[in-house]
Structure 1
Amino acid sequence: MAEERGEVVVLPERTSRACTEMSPTSPIVLERRRRATVSPRWQVANAPRASLGLHKGADTIPAQNSVDAVQELNQRQASALDELRLFRTTLDSLKARLPALEYFVANSSLKEEDDDAELERIVRSFGDPVTTIAGGNPDGPGSGEAGAGGSEPLQKRARTSFGGQGQTGSTATAKGKGKQKQDPDEGEAGVEASVNLEFYALGRPRVWAEPNMRTSAVAVDDSDAAATAGPSSSPSHRNAILPPASEGQSESPVALFANGDALLRAAPTSEQEKIIFHQGLDVYGFHHAVIHAPDFYAQVEAFHELGNGQFDLASLAWLSAYFALLAVSAKLVTPEQQDEMGFNDAEMSACANRWFQCAIACLYRHNFLQNHDLACLQAIAILVLSGRDAGSATLIASLLHAGLSIAQDLGLHRLVSDEQWAAAFKDKPQRLRAKSLIDREIRKRVMWSLAHSDWFAIPYRTYSTLTRAQITTPLPLNAKDEDLAKGEAVDRPRDEYTPAAWLLQYIEIGASMANAFESSRSDKSTAAQAYQRFLQADRELETLLKSLPTWLKPGAPTDGMPPCVEALRTTFFISLQHKILSIHRPFLARPSRATTYALSRKRVIDAARAILREAPRAKDIRLWTAIYHISVASFSLTLELYEQLKGPSPDNEAIRNEIQQALPTLEGLKSASAIADRGLGLVTPLLADEKRMREEGGAMQPKDKRKVSAAGSWCDEFVR
């Protein structure tokens, strides 16, 4: 019966780009399908008798030539279903082509002579629209993994980021359940561009290609033989099992620092070590607070007493913390201290990166994912909290997740209450009680440091690894080092500064943010209720800002505080304003933002302006957080200036001046900080473009809107 079916009609190419203009169930399509699939024998059986050369009196067609109506109907249904499957599969394949087309649109600033070759390369990459891209799954739309064949320009796709949402076809299908994501409106594009710029300032592009899908060194064979040799001979399969091209691939830290001799060659001299650790513990130790300074200095002394072979004899877990502290502290030394050690900014940054690699090598060599150790968690916490300017931000983000998992395996999230501990050690010797208390407080600080770092990242990931309710460990005591050394569980007043005081403030900020985002994900809460929870978090942060502890207030006494008091206070103010900006920014992308979320836009602008007004006071602060938050505020307000091209606000010129006043801070720190260098390199061209468009007449042209919405794409190459 198969040969008796009519051929499937192939519709001619259309000039329209829309593949959904005519529904597959529309009357026209159904009629075409009916005509295309009708059986010749059915046509004969139902044709007018005159057309068959028969007169009214002629005999009817013999019984053996009659057709079973039910059987023929089933055949028609099967044929129609086959065509419907082909249509659906083709539709999926067309959707799979869209990301490659988007790439070409976003990266169409090529030279004219290169356009044809580039377009041909992209078009050739599409592959067969049915078998290669869609995967041939006949179960309906969205059932296939679009792009699974790997026929897309993968290395280029990794750079394409329309508002930070670019991703491989298979991932897009899996997350979107087969639905094509609609193009973001201008507000959403602006928000996404701002978030992308934050990632790029850290040197961490927001979208990455899968490692096994990067361009391999193996040449792609386009010959007919390769095409007919079977799936196992596909170039994409060969590329998947071969290592990626060496270009741009950094050497493994373990290979670089595989033994004690390599670590010894990388280590600082004794005098350099003293200067660096003084800066990282005695001056800026508050920024991580996971090291008990007196104990650590005693351990370093014991380490040097090991003599020759000390880097082979010492615990790799302890060495990971040792090098992690060296790495973050090296970024904090002053220019005068650098001169004393004989380094300039570039050489000091190189040392910091080398010690960062040493710390990672020690973690890997210790097999820290299997051999859990508190010292490894201290190393991770130090890098997460204070080391974003010393090494790979992508690696640090991965370490944070690993650290949270290890901390839970060690039970750091469920330590007993302070009262239970005090009762258990009430009659113990003072030395034993002190040792236990120091260890307990460091564990608490490590747990809460990793937790609040995770909560600060919720606005970018929309989830947290560990919620506030899952942590039953008491908050760290607001205690001084000498309190712990005496074995006294002292919890000093909030207004009194201690090494843990900064951490306690950050825990409060992070918990407020986490509660807002967790409440917004409740199935029972409406959009209005979720927004009210964010407004509540805003009020909590504003209350915290207005009721600062004494040691954070400008002009307050500095007794017992580190010598960097002003830097500490400026950094905290900038950081808190950034958290206010972070919780409100997602609402700028909502469709009803002009009315319902008008307050959020105002809060974002106000917070960013407050950061930039504080920026001149941060010109000598080398903490990565202050530099990063100033860069973020600059991005946010520069993109706001783009938005105001349609109609400048009364504050337009004041905003522009505040951005310009903040740039010298980044300029002065760019030789010492990669974040400052990247931030300056990203915001400067944005400002230049905004000035050009403003002078050309105001409102953005379509090409300029694309530039803003694809901000991540055009600056990706700069970051790499």
Structure 2
Amino acid sequence: MSVSSRSRLTCSACTRRKVKCSKTVPCTNCIRRDQQDTCGINDAQGNPTSPPQSLTSRAQELDYLRQRLTQLENEIHQDNPTDRVATAHNLHPETPDVHSNETVHDIDSIAATRDAATVLEFLAWGRRKDPDCHTVVSIEPAENVSPGVDTGILQDLSQLPVLQLLLPNAQQVRQLVDYHRDCLLWYHGSYFDPTFQTQLSDFYDTHNGMIEDPAVNLQWVALLFSILTASLTCAPDTQARAWGFDEAERETLSRRWFQAIITCLNRADYTSNLNILSCQAITTATVSAHLLGFSTTQSIHLATAVRVAQSLGIHHLGPDIAGNLVVNETGRRVWCELCNQDWFSIPFSETYLISPRYTTSAPPSNSHDHDLIPVDADIPTITSYSRFLRDIAIIMPQLQDGLISSNTAYTRYEKVLNYDARLRGLATRERPLFMTNAPLDSTWPVWVPWARHALAITSSHKIVMIHRSFLLDSFVNPAFAFTRRTCLAASKTIIKEYNCLVEEDGPTLWIHQAFAVAASITLLLDVLHRDPGERECSEHRTHAQNVVRILKSRRDSMIATRGTKLLEAILAQTAPDVMQQRRGKHNRDGTPAIKFNVSALVRDFCKSNSANLPLAFPQDHASSPSSEDPPPMYHSSDSNLLGTDFTQSHPSFPFPATGANSFDDLLYLANYDFTNT
């Protein structure tokens, strides 16, 4: 190709000035001169593929570059026809031929198989883990505004008058705040209620409940909206109606209030004007964020809250630090919740922000708010649940470090068994008395039964998370039979507790639905690795169907909506006739010719939900050995927190080359939001 056939890449302004150009549009010189709007390229040859003189977006620049690549490819083809295939592969990766497409799918399948189960669970939260799904699913639910309805200024929550309109009357605000104190604060412990009650009284008595008052701290208003959102989202329907909120208004206000949290924080410039109030608002918002479909937004703000808290020194509130007792104790409570949220997210993010090694803050004291005098751990206080949850959460970063430092599947599985035993000991032998099956004391708070269910569900879910990297291997390799038995028992415990919660009139916590979906996924994966006639197939399908039935009754929850779609898709693949058809084909040596392809399910579920198409599951022509050690039956009468089989000793085992599987992909799907939900 001759020099004269090349198109000019320097912009017109740099050409006139005879200065060196960065050959980008806009170029650095034009940006420096504040002339980026007029930066453009004049092709002296009059090339029709040249861009216009004014390019104001990266999209136009990218389009131009694609045209230039096509032109260069054609010129190369004219000079050397034998290189056309190679050139096409190099310059057009977005349009591969059939063979290259198969290669890409093979690579995707390997990546998806690595940790598929958490990916599926993650989808129910509206979070992203699998990059292949990014182009076909939306992250957060879009606003549902009826066509033709012009809401005008009401859509602009950045205006303080609009935020003022969102507040209910003072009586309803106090009712929602009191409900949060009595029924939800035990779950996260992110703020000190006596302090907040004083601030709330001042808000109405001194500032007449006016958000627009310049003396009102918008970061405190964010905390107020966070508390209100959690109460309205989690309270039973009967309670919400008693406050005066019908179903339609409840749905609208809960979402608007959550958005108001972020608006207030941003208007207060909370990343510059550091205040513990922003950390309290964000950690409290976790209670409602997942149910409302704002999991991705919440995860980003939690990360920011960690940095704000560290800047305030909250991570260094040791037991002997001087200062105001209430202030220090409030800081410890907030930091404890930030640690719990960060460490429990490790199975999904595979990293963590808070290093236990550099955290010197003491856990919050087990004390009542009216005196802050430490009491025995067996006495329930507003911090009891968070304190014990921290003991469980700290296992997760230690496990992550251990897995990363291990070089073989043998040593990785040793780490899994070690931390499995640690969590088992915590959950069964080191629980506070009120968290066990001891008879309820009439002096205990109303939330104690709910805390028992929550701890059983959370502990069981964390057992599955500890074993997640070996879960799919456990279905086909008897060496990991202990993982299979453990995860199945834990999953049945979660579903048993979830069924009990439905019959009670307590608040709805996001972990109830999310972890029930994860448990159902685990049971259905087990079904997919069994012969259709085995008794466990019917039992596990029944458990999952019961979860779907409950989830369908929670139309106000995004986790329930996504989880229902995913579980119904997997249930369809575990139907006896479908299973029999899959098992009907064998290789010449008698081994099954077709096995269920989890990574294909993940990929096709993403595509079908983005386009509302029927699910079509490709099948992988490979043998699928079944485990010789099926899990034992689960008995609902058993009262063990983690299930009957959690007291078994660890078996001896040989190890395969890897411990990878696709469990994470399934968990991811369960928590992801799709465009056409």
**TM-score normalised by length of structure 1:** 0.64
Q: 2:181 aligns with which of 268, 281, 285?
A: 281
Distance 2:464 2:183 in 1: 29
1:147-546 alignment runs, 5 A limit: 152=94, 181=107, 183-184=109-110, 189=113, 191-192=115-116, 194-207=117-130, 256-305=156-205, 306-307=207-208, 309-313=210-214, 314-415=216-317, 417-421=318-322, 436-484=324-372, 490-522=373-405, 526-546=408-428
Contact 1:254 1:361 in 2 (8 A): no
What SS does the aligned partner of 2:508 have?
coil
Distance 2:91 2:195 in 1: 57
Task: Give 2:449's aligned residue.
Answer: 566
Contact 1:558 1:565 in 2 (8 A): no
List, as ranges, runs of 4+ consecutive aligned residues in structure 1 with deviation greater than 4 Å: 124-132, 146-151, 207-211, 247-255, 589-593, 647-650, 699-704
**TM-score normalised by length of structure 2:** 0.67
Give, as a single letter, the amino acid of the residue that structure 1 aligns with 2:250. Answer: M
Give, as a single letter, the amino acid of the residue that structure 2 aligns with 1:295. Answer: T
Distance 1:383 1:149 in 2: 46
Contact 2:474 2:480 in 1 (8 A): no
Task: Give 1:36's aligned residue.
Answer: none
Distance 2:73 2:467 in 1: 45
1:204–1:347 CA distance, 2 compared to 1 (3 A) = farther
1:31-42 alignment runs, 5 A limit: none
Determine which structure has more spread, i.e. the larger CA radius of gyration: 1
Task: Give 2:623's aligned residue.
Answer: none
Distance 1:209 1:623 in 2: 30
Alpha-carbon RMSD = 3.9
Contact 1:280 1:329 in 2 (8 A): yes
1:654–1:365 CA distance, 2 compared to 1 (3 A) = same
What SS does the aligned partner of 2:123 have?
helix
Task: Give 2:61's aligned residue.
Answer: none
Give, as a single letter, the amino acid of the residue that structure 2 aligns with 1:629. Answer: F
1:319–1:594 CA distance, 2 compared to 1 (3 A) = same
Contact 1:280 1:332 in 2 (8 A): no
Distance 2:483 2:187 in 1: 29
Give, as a single letter, the amino acid of the residue that structure 2 aligns with 1:531. Answer: Y
Task: Give 1:661's aligned residue.
Answer: 546
Shift of 1:253: 12
Give, as a single letter, the amino acid of the residue that structure 2 aligns with 1:640. Answer: D
Residues 318-364 of structure 1, C-alpha deviations (whole Å, 9 max, x = no match): 11111111111111222222222333334313211110000000011
Contact 2:316 2:359 in 1 (8 A): yes
The runs of 5 or more residues in structure 1 that have no matched partner are 4-123, 133-145, 155-161, 167-179, 216-246, 426-435, 485-489
1:373–1:611 CA distance, 2 compared to 1 (3 A) = same
1:252–1:269 CA distance, 2 compared to 1 (3 A) = same
Task: Give 2:647's aligned residue.
Answer: none
Residues 1:682 and 2:566 aligned together: yes
Task: Give 1:719's aligned residue.
Answer: 674
Give, as a single letter, the amino acid of the residue that structure 2 aligns with 1:546. Answer: T
Residues 432-478 of structure 1, C-alpha deviations (whole Å, 9 max, x = no match): xxxx2111111111112111211111111221112211101111111
Distance 1:130 1:690 in 2: 52
Give, as a single letter, the amino acid of the residue that structure 2 aligns with 1:315. Answer: N
Give, as a single letter, the amino acid of the residue that structure 1 aligns with 2:113. Answer: A
Contact 1:369 1:406 in 2 (8 A): yes
What SS does the aligned partner of 2:212 have?
helix
1:126–1:643 CA distance, 2 compared to 1 (3 A) = farther
Distance 2:241 2:67 in 1: 55
Give, as a single letter, the amino acid of the residue that structure 1 aligns with 2:495. Answer: L
1:445–1:649 CA distance, 2 compared to 1 (3 A) = farther
Shift of 1:514: 1.6
Residues 1:553 and 2:436 aligned together: yes
The runs of 5 or more residues in structure 2 that have no matched partner are 3-65, 75-87, 97-101, 146-150, 586-592, 611-672
Q: 1:632 aligns with which of 515, 518, 522?
A: 518
Contact 1:328 1:390 in 2 (8 A): no
More relative contact order in 1 or in 2 (CA 8 Å, sep 6+)?
2
Contact 2:474 2:483 in 1 (8 A): no
Paired residue total: 508
Give, as a single letter, the amino acid of the residue that structure 1 aligns with 2:184. Answer: Y
Distance 2:236 2:461 in 1: 26
Distance 1:595 1:629 in 2: 26
Give, as a single letter, the amino acid of the residue that structure 1 aligns with 2:425. Answer: T
What SS does the aligned partner of 2:126 have?
coil
> Between the two proteins, what is the percent identity of the paired residues?
23
1:259–1:494 CA distance, 2 compared to 1 (3 A) = same
Task: Give 1:40's aligned residue.
Answer: none
Distance 1:214 1:612 in 2: 31
Residues 69-95 of structure 1, C-alpha deviations (whole Å, 9 max, x = no match): xxxxxxxxxxxxxxxxxxxxxxxxxxx
1:546–1:300 CA distance, 2 compared to 1 (3 A) = same
1:695–1:272 CA distance, 2 compared to 1 (3 A) = farther
Task: Give 2:589's aligned residue.
Answer: none
1:684–1:504 CA distance, 2 compared to 1 (3 A) = same
Task: Give 2:529's aligned residue.
Answer: 643
Distance 1:441 1:553 in 2: 27
Distance 2:281 2:153 in 1: 15
Task: Give 2:631's aligned residue.
Answer: none
1:128-139 alignment runs, 5 A limit: none
Residues 187-212 of structure 1, C-alpha deviations (whole Å, 9 max, x = no match): x63951x323212211234346999x
What SS does the aligned partner of 2:371 have?
helix
